[in-house]
Structure 1
Amino acid sequence: MSNTPVIAAVDGSEHSLRALEWARKEAVRHGCGLLVAHVLPDHAQLYAGRRASLHDASEPQEIPDPVRDWVRSLLGAGGPGLPEGVAYEALEGSVPEALRVIGSQARMLVMGSRGRGGFASLLLGSSSRAVASTAACPVVVVPHAERGAAPGAAPGAAPEADADAEQSAGRVVLGLHAAETPEDVLTFAFTEAAVRGTTVQVVSAYAIPPSPTLVIDSPFAVIPPEGLADEGDGVPAEREMLRSQTERLAPLRERFPDVPVEQAAVPGDPAGRLVIASRAAALVVVGRHHPRRTAMSLAIGSVAHAVLHHAHGPVAVVPTLKDDV
């Protein structure tokens, strides 16, 4: 078993339960441990500080933590503890900072799109956005049920139609700018596809002049590399983008020979196209920062920001080493 864990951030809400279930399956796929992390609420942190300052031996050694008991009841299989390979840790501090610190050595950090304190109308909670913007590890945000679409479901299909589908049933969708997306992002996407035994669908978007006949929400074509012969009939911008994709993906194909690859070059907004693709995806993978941002910038890229807000399934936001140098 790998020493690098998958971390599930929980707060006892239904949203964090979905993240915990997703993270538990992910840890099994990777053969690694699962660490369940809960940032204590302010009143519990105040109690812990008071107890420590008074050094009162009569006070219980363990801080009351209903979320810990909730996790044990879910994962403990009827016993008082947690299964082998699963650990629980209560954290202090602000939610983004505490999770950023604990995630520094994680394979990935998984959290729900909204927490217990979020307004029902919010598409993405402030903590999820802040952690995805700053964590040193990949952050997977699992959307709440109202936004969900079962992996493998056809675009436009009702989410409940395939509610029991396995999360590994869909493909891994990679948002790629051939000239700019860092290698870490590609490696993460191919690794996730490999552990699932599924396909990587690579989606790149190109700008075109506005047209009244263009249907932005229309399905896009997936073209295999062998379909890029010079005598083809594709749009020049599309064909050039597909060629750039093929060149950029060549090293990944060599490293992951058993991972099928689909390539799609589509007109329009990249975030919108990734949201459409998320309807039939097990996971959407995007890079966090635009490479031209400064090393000290904490702002998340516009594509990642939009996909996090609107995707129908889990989204992995992958940082890069270049952001931290």
Structure 2
Amino acid sequence: MPANTVGPLVVGVDGSTSALNAVRWAAAGAAPRNRTLRLVHALDDLAARYPKPIPTDEDLVERFRLRGHRLLREARDVAREVDQNVKIEMDLSQRRPVEALRAESSSASLLVLGTTGIRPLGRALIGSVSIALAAHARCPVALIRPHVAEEAPPTDGPVVVGVDGSPSSEEAVALAFDAASWRRVPLVAVHAWDDAFLAEMFDEARWERERPEMEQRECEVLAQRLAGWQEKYPDVVVRRAVTRGRASDELLAFADRAQLIVVGSRGRGGLAGMLLGSTSQALMSYALCPVIVARAEE
């Protein structure tokens, strides 16, 4: 079960266009579920390093505070444009961004961050704050990348979730069912299995004989992971996709048609000590739609 299903949606606000896009996305999700939208601005590192006035500008810290309050008011107005009824809280933190937002994640149901831009070949610019929080936040983290109108994810597209049976994947499944339910769209559950290693270990004739049994086993794994959730959310239409290949490649194939992808922070194949697996990192970088990275309870 998700660690917190009633906490606020927390958005990091820094005055950028990408952050305001994140505010709009979060406001659209907060209002229908009667959740509070909490807007947080952390003082810039420069201000945090100078708790007392410095000779060159004795009003420096106060200037940062005034700017922070202005940015929060602008973000509040953007959220009100999405829905006048959304409940909003605003906070100007004295901490640095990662510290402030990680502290907020303890009581949040979702932490929402905007990504800064797109590199050539469609790779998103994932900043250090987003990477650190996706790895260390105590709640799921949503990354919202900027779009031009023709690239925006379809609002009627399905929610897609990666399922591999790991603890963080279980958390991702729970979040995905909830998201598909209140959005009233289908859920596509993707379970990818890579047979490249096994194919190399056996001769081709033997592997061809054993492959159908392996495929059946993987279908059963997916069915087991979904069974309880389908009973809890009978309103959600579930489409199952069991595919051969790398999980990141298979999930990215669904990204263009999805309005949201949910994935665990680290799958079954992750190395001990890794907080972000290759699949979650690939989706954070390349998926066109919003991505939620879920972590298992510690």
TM-score (normalizing by structure 1): 0.73
Runs of 4+ residues deviating >6 angstroms: 59-62, 118-121
Q: 1:34 aligns with which of 32, 37, 42?
A: 37
SS of residue paired to 1:98: helix
Equivalent pairs, count? 268
Q: Which runs of 5+ in 1 are unaligned?
A: 153-165, 211-233
1:17 aligns with 2:15: no
**How do 1:47-196 and structure 2 match up within 5 A?**
49-50=51-52, 63-65=65-67, 66-75=70-79, 85-114=87-116, 123-145=125-147, 149-152=151-154, 166=155, 169-178=156-165, 182-196=169-183
Give the drift of 1:128: 0.8
Does the Cα contact within 8 Å between 1:29 and 1:196 map onto a contact in 2?
A: no
Residue 161 of structure 1 is matched in structure 2 by none
Change (3 A) 1:204 1:122: closer
Letter of the aligned partner of 1:250 in structure 2? A
CA contact (8 A) 2:42 2:96 kept: yes
Change (3 A) 1:204 1:75: closer
The answer as to 2:243 corresponding to 1:241 is no
The 3-state SS of whatever aligns with 1:50 is: coil
Give me the TM-score of the superposition, normalised by structure 2: 0.79
Q: Which moved more, 1:137-146 or 1:172-181?
A: 172-181
**Which has a greater percent of helix?**
2
**Residue segments in structure 2 that go unaligned for 5+ positions in a row:** 198-210
Partner Cα distance (2:79, 2:243) in 1 = 43
Alignment of 1:270-285 (within 5 A): 270-285=247-262
Match of 1:310 among 281, 286, 297: 286
Note the aligned Cα RMSD (angstroms): 3.1
Match for residue 203 of structure 2? Answer: none
Equivalent of residue 4 in structure 1, options 7, 31, 53: 7
Distance 1:273 1:74, change over 3 A: same
Secondary structure at the aligned position of 2:143 is classed as strand
Q: Deviations over 1:243-298 (max 9, x none)?
A: 2211221111111111110000112111011112111111111111346655xx36
| CA distance in 2: counterparts of 1:146 and 1:124, whole angstroms | 18
Q: What secondary structure sits across from 1:109 in the alignment?
A: strand
Q: Could you report, residue by residue, the CA deviation over 1:29-61 in whole angstroms, capped at 9, with x for unpaired residues?
A: 3211100111211334356x226xxxx9xx979
Change (3 A) 1:84 1:279: closer
